[in-house]
Amino acid sequence: MSAFSRTDQSQLSNWWWTIDRTMLVYVGILVGLGLLMAYGASPAVAERLGLSSFHFAYRQTGFLAFALMVIFFVSLLNPVQIRRLGTLMFFTCFILLIITLFVGNVVNGAQRWLPLGSFTLQPSEFMKPAFIIFTAWMFAEKKRTPDFPGWRISFIALVLIVVLLILQPDFGQAVLISVVWFSQIFMAGLPLIFMGGIVSLLVIGSLFAYLFIPHVAQRIDAFLNPALHDTYQTDLALNAFKAGGVIGRGPGEGNLKKLLPDAHSDFIFAVVGEEFGLVLCILIVGLFAIIVLRGLSQLLKEADLFTFLSTAGLLIQLGLQAFFNMGVNLAILPNKGMTLPFISYGGSSMLSLAIGMGMILALTRRNSRYEAESHRPIYMKWLNKT
């Protein structure tokens, strides 16, 4: 029996009766799996680095606990407050990305982290949900006021952010942000002739990155011609999946985490495959698929363009990030540093994903104002216009 009465008018009670509790459960399961893998995969990495066995596990526990609080508080917001939060984050992260190029820590040749005491902040992680919200606002304003240059502002912002990310370099995040932006502008109704131009620019930009950025060229060449390059990490990951089979070798019995430096972060999916087998891997894939598809299905009757584009963009970002991480682990995509949402170790990534998930839950809350009005689904408006 619920602890909240439907006649209770408090904010907490209203949150409980309007939030998508099913999606909340799925996210909770992912967080639980992340906690399980933190204690299973990270001790070997910590010991190899000369740290206490549960150094990363304890830190991840703190990150996950804080992430749950962030999800809750952000999910209390309404769409206007989400827009304000996203816009504030966008401009803040933009400034931090510039600062990172000058004073950021350099790790493995990449300058992506700002030192904040014992914690390092990665601004590019927080830019992802912020840019999605900012872009959705620009596109929505363009639809509401045709003379407003929302598309141009968004495109200029995209170019500036991608340039800053490539300078770090962080080509994976640049690709992810670009793909999500492209999907948003497609859903916003950009004419096909302009869509073709944007696709051409993306292709030219990718070719330019391959030809003139050695970091990008090296990873793509290693993916296309693995026999001629060092593929130590992906080879270990594939062997881990093979060793795990269907049911896995058992919790704590994996060997990958003892050999791979990123076993607790970028390659944690391979650790899951080795210790828990195909069964848990499919469960994780299914959880991400259910969250994304459930969220998108709730948008079919959404009348507000900002809410539609924001939620769709955040869900696409979540799904793509999971796909990119698992694709790298399975050697079907070039190697790129990207975490598995809510499962990989990482403070900035965890808190950024918590903000994004909180926004999704806030924007998909049942709104009595929309339920009371006879709004047509937004896709019907597009069909009528065409």
CA 16, distance to chain mean position in Å, is 25
Greater pLDDT, 244 or 337: 244
Q: 362 falls in which pLDDT band (50, 70, 90)?
A: very high
Contact 248, 280 (CB under 8 A): yes
Q: 374 falls in which pLDDT band (50, 70, 90)?
A: very low
Give the contacts of 321 (CB within 8 A, at least 6 positions apart).
176, 338, 339, 340, 341
The torsion region of residue 341 among left (phi > 0), alpha (psi -120 to 50) and beta comes to beta
pLDDT digit string (tens) for 219-272?
676 666 666 566 778 888 899 999 999 988 888 888 888 887 788 888 999 999
Give me the pLDDT at residue 169, please: 82
Give me the pLDDT at residue 127, please: 96
Give me the pLDDT at residue 223, please: 66
Q: 367 falls in which pLDDT band (50, 70, 90)?
A: low
DSSP-assigned states of every residue in 307-364: HHHHHHHHHHHHHHHHHHHHHHHTTSS-------TTTS--HHHHHHHHHHHHHHHHHT
Give me the pLDDT at residue 32, please: 93
Which 3 state secondary structure label does DSSP give 122?
coil
How many CA atoms lie within 13 Å of 314's alpha carbon, on the beta-carbon side?
A: 31
Model pTM greater than 0.75? Answer: yes
What is the pairing mode between strands 105-107 and 110-116?
Answer: antiparallel
Distance from the first to the final alpha carbon of the chain: 48
Greater pLDDT, 228 or 334: 334
Contact 104, 116 (CB under 8 A): no
Give me the pLDDT at residue 132, please: 97
Greater pLDDT, 213 or 52: 52
Least confident range of 7-11, 115-119, 178-182: 7-11
- What is the domain partition of the chain in residue ranges? 13-366
Average pLDDT on 322-332 reads: 92
Task: Give the position of tokens 């939060």.
Answer: 85
List the structure tokens of 49.
Answer: 């680095």
Give me the pLDDT at residue 333, please: 85
pLDDT at 386 over 60: no
Give me the pLDDT at residue 135, please: 96
Q: 369 falls in which pLDDT band (50, 70, 90)?
A: very low
Mean confidence (pLDDT) of the chain: 85
Give me the pLDDT at residue 41, please: 84
Give me the pLDDT at residue 165, please: 92
Give the contacts of 377 (CB within 8 A, at least 6 positions apart).
300, 301, 302, 303
Give me the pLDDT at residue 375, please: 38
DSSP-assigned states of every residue in 176-205: HHHHHHHHHHHHTT--HHHHHHHHHHHHHH
Give me the pLDDT at residue 116, please: 80
Of 116, 106, 221, 120, nearest in space to 167 by CA: 106
Give me the pLDDT at residue 354, please: 96
Strands annotated E in the chain: 105-107, 110-116, 119-121
Average pLDDT on 8-35 reads: 88
pLDDT at 373 over 50: no
Give me the pLDDT at residue 202, please: 73
Hey, what's the torsion of the CAs at 72, 73, 74, 76, to 10 degrees? 90
